[in-house]
Structure 1
Amino acid sequence: MIGRWLLAEGDGTGVWQQIFNFDNYGELLGLVQNSLLAGALLGLVGGLVGVFVIMRDLPFAVHGISELSFAGGAAALLLGVNIVAGSIVGSLLAAAAIGVLGVRARDRNSIIGVIMPFGLGLGVLFLSLYKGRAANKFGLLTGQIIAVDTPQMSWLISTSIVVLIVLLIVWKPLTFAGADPEVAEARGVPVRALSLAFMLVLGLAVALCVQIVGALLVLSLLVTPAAAAARITASTVLLPVLSVVFALISIEGGILLALGSTVPISPYVTTISFVIYLACRLATTKRAKRTPRVLNSASEVGAMRV
């Protein structure tokens, strides 16, 4: 081990070899077919849900829900039942509490601040009581790519279908309510009911993402792709499309890189999504510099003439 480290210190190749090994990559691909399919579902769900997370300013809620989703998954692991089901129950409980008790933004942030440490504490308690494989504990926090078995895949597919159907039904009124809630409510749109419905949908989406990227890093799928897309377009059509594309690139790219690596999947997903966001931000900054500033006052026009 010391010799390898000295080699790594000498030319840098040792570190690379310890992190990446693509010798049997083709054979390993057969082990992650379920994960690639799950990643495609998560990219689609995360990209679409993320649009409304950004629109309704709910990134903090995503993190709060993920903590209770982690607690639910840890409880399921301890009891020996389906982990996806446990995560979903935890997510829905958190989402319902935030949706019902946190109607106003100020109240919502307070509720989330209460739920987060409670969920994290419960999760740590359940994991400390669990005497099984350490990899199962670690996977709930940072994600894993080869643990998506057939029963879990069934849960992921069915839950994703529910989320997509609900989003299809509420997409237009939810967009209207997010853009101008007062006008939407005046025109008869059930703003509060839509808000609660979306929180429950968000809870399901968080539970799905926890299975692949872990509870600590769900923001990389439910916030960063949509935030990147929002940097380069305001189109109601192009925004969700780009958000889904960015989420798919992040999750599928992370899975493929992690397959030939000793590092968990989450650092790859978060790095890819961050690089995409950074590129979008830099692109808009350069475009803003190239665009001539419009003079909007008589004094500015007169100054230019002088």
Structure 2
Amino acid sequence: MNLDLLNHILSFQNFGELVVLVRNSIIAGALLGIVGGLIGPFVITRNLPFAVHGISELSFAGASIALLIGINVVAGSLIGSVLAALLIGVLGNRARERNSIIAVLMPFGLGLGILCLALYQGRSANKFGLLTGQIVSVDNPQLGWLLGISVLVIVTLLVVWRPLTFSSVDPDVAAAAGVPVRSLAIVFMLALGLSVAVSVQIVGALLVLSLLVTPAAAALRLTVSPLWVPVLSVVFAVTSVVGGILLALGGGLPISPYVTTISFAIWLVCRIVGGRREKRAAYRRARVADPATVTAGGTGVRAAADEGERVSA
């Protein structure tokens, strides 16, 4: 029984033919990996992972409404994401206010989306795909949408990269230096809204964090370099999405379990490696600070024990 289940999940019959069929999805996945990898470090630095989930719920609601009334699903998803991003960016000046707004928007968006899906009389796969993602749903027009939006987000991030980095690390100092912190926050939220909207089309509304947050979190466990963090984040995100698509071809399952598993595995490895690095660095600092008590073989501790024995004697 277990072998049958494993064969179902990782069966690669006619794999070459299937890869050709999902070529658009692979291209879209690579694009979304680049977008998610670039915007993810800012999401973490600005403490906005919760906002990503809130925006995805409104994006799901917009896509569900579009599916119900028979218009372009990507357009509906974009409208929902942009509205949510604007509300969070304009009204959520402080973290507490922002979290409250997100907590209000999330159940509303999810409830509205579920209502529309309940009223939708079309294919059940379309309903399920909005929540968990699909690998064969990206046609040429949809790929054009994704390409255009991805390029827009990437160009926007590159233009505002330096001031956005400054305002993300220390907004008070950036504001004192004349950086338009408020305007940058709104621009970033709009870019984030667009990124969420296109990501929902591939990984679904429920698991979009695996693309926009987890790769960046993994990269930050390895380095804090402003150059290598986005590079590693992009590599991890592209690997998760494209790898998930290729593995999903082997079984009749949605793409999301594969993407989230790969993404989590990368994060777990990076966390272990980063933790060991931190321990070695702490050990070296302690050794430099007091070499008499911190030595490679623990001789300092042994010497202290011997001294105690002599005193007691």
State the TM-score bracket (shorter-chain normalisation): over 0.9
What corresponds to 2:308 in structure 1? none
Q: Does 1:67 align with 2:65?
A: no
Q: CA deviation at 1:227?
A: 0.3
174, 191, 211: which is aligned to 2:181? Answer: 191
Query: Cα offset for 1:20?
Result: 3.0
**Bigger radius of gyration:** 2
Cα displacement (A) at 1:79: 1.2
What residue in structure 2 maps to residue 13 of structure 1? 3
Match of 2:206, SS state, is helix
Task: Report the equivalent of 1:200.
Answer: 190
2:162 counterpart letter in structure 1: K
How far off is 1:221 after superposition?
0.4
Q: 2:36 aligns with which of 27, 32, 46?
A: 46
TM-aligned CA distance change 1:174 to 1:25, over 3 Å: same
Asked if 1:261 corresponds to 2:251, the answer is yes
Q: Which amino acid aligns with 1:211?
A: Q
In the alignment, which of 221, 229, 241 is matched to residue 211 of structure 2?
221
Equivalent of 2:285 in 271, 277, 294: 294
In 2: Cα distance, 1:43 partner to 1:297 partner: 42
Is 1:136 aligned to 2:126, yes or no? yes
| 1:5 alignment counterpart | none
Q: Does 1:56 align with 2:46?
A: yes
| Cα offset, 1:161, TM superposition | 1.1
Alpha carbon RMSD of aligned pairs, Å?
1.6
* Residue matched to 1:28: 18
Q: Is the 8 A contact 1:20 1:262 kept in 2?
A: no
- Mapped to 1, the partners of 2:84 and 2:134 lie a distance apart of 23
Which of 70, 73, 77 does residue 87 from structure 1 map onto? 77
Equivalent-residue separation in structure 2 for 1:17 and 1:296 (angstroms): 52
AA aligned opposite 2:115: L
Deviations 1:95-124 (A, max 9, x none): 000001101001000000000000001100
> Distance in 2 between the 1:289 and 1:197 partners?
39
- Alignment partners' CA distance in 1, 2:32 and 2:248: 17
**Cα offset, 1:60, TM superposition:** 0.2
Aligned residues, how many? 295
Deviation at 1:296, TM superposition (A): 9.5
Partner Cα separation in structure 1 for residue 231 and residue 7 of structure 2: 37
Partner of 1:111: 101
Q: CA deviation at 1:303?
A: 6.3
CA shift for structure 1 position 297: 11
Q: Which deviations, in whole Å up to 9, do the C-alpha atoms of 1:115-136 show, x marking residues without a partner?
A: 0000001100110110000000
**Structure 1's 60 and 303: CA in aligned 2 closer, same or farther, altered over 3 A?**
same
TM-score by length of 1: 0.93
Secondary structure in 2 matching 1:243: helix
Give the letter for the 1:134 counterpart: S
- State the alpha-carbon separation in 1 of the partners of residues 279 and 41 from structure 2: 27
Matched AA of 1:210? V
Aligned residue identity for 1:294: R
Percent identity between matched residues is 64
